[in-house]
Amino acid sequence: MRDAQLANQRAARLRRIVIVGSAVLALVLIAVMVVVLVQQKPAASAPSDLAYPPNATAARDGIVINDNTGKPDVGLYFDYQCSHCVQFEQSFGGALALLGQTGEIRLVHHTRVFLDSGKADGLSHRAALAAACADVVGAYAPFHTAIFEAAPQGPYTDKLLLETIPAQLGMTGTDLTAFRACNANQNLAPFVQNVEDAAMKAGLTETPLLTVNGKAVPAATFNGKTGADLKAIIEAAAKG
């Protein structure tokens, strides 16, 4: 009888060990499954309902490059197909970007597409859309510069906008996927057109055009000037 009691006790302990071990094993398996599911999560892509770039202005009429509140509000209006805009970028683009980066101005880009003459799939629209999509992955400023640098080489192509420039900027992985998805789904196309419409409604019909606190700086102001003169030009316009 004593032997039987001991055997029953050993069996009971064994059952408890098995039950506890099974529970622990189940928890381990659940944890492993969670890790696997997280690791297998699809790569990030541009939200299908994205309506405007992350750094769009409140009025959706441009993209904020440097949001230095309280500083002169400087707007740059340009069309990527505009030859004079290319020249302006070469002469003043670097200085303008530096003023924004050092916190001396609040810089906003207003990308025009009027040179497409209403064609929603024209080269200006394509370049503007690609630049807006670059903002989705935090690469607007260098993408903008790269577009203008490529302008002298001929008309913008899909290969340039979707492959060459992203490669130059080191855009890879989920960023590249999101950028291309944004271009493919065209959800930012209405934003691109809205920037154009807002400028026309405001009577801003020239490019390139620089505005300071909403007031256009006459094109003649830049005659014979260089990037070194830009800060003084903006300061004078801000006081006017």
| pLDDT (tens digit per residue) in 169-201 | 999 999 999 999 999 999 999 999 999 999 999
Please give the model's pTM, rounded to 2 decimal places. 0.80
Strands 73-79 and 106-112: parallel
Confidence of residue 50 (pLDDT cuts 50, 70, 90): confident
Tell me how far apart the alpha carbons of residues 206 and 179 are, in angstroms, rounded to a whole number.
30
Tell me how far apart the alpha carbons of residues 155 and 1 are, in angstroms, rounded to a whole number.
98
Residue 37 has a pLDDT of 37
Residue 27 has a pLDDT of 44
Residue, of 44 and 95, whose pLDDT is higher:
95
The set of residues, in sequence order, having a beta carbon less than 8 Å from that of 157 and lying 6+ positions away, is none
Residue, of 4 and 163, whose pLDDT is higher:
163
DSSP state of 218: P
Residue 165 has a pLDDT of 98
DSSP state of 217: E
**Any idea which of 21-35, 45-59, 144-158 has the lowest mean pLDDT?**
21-35
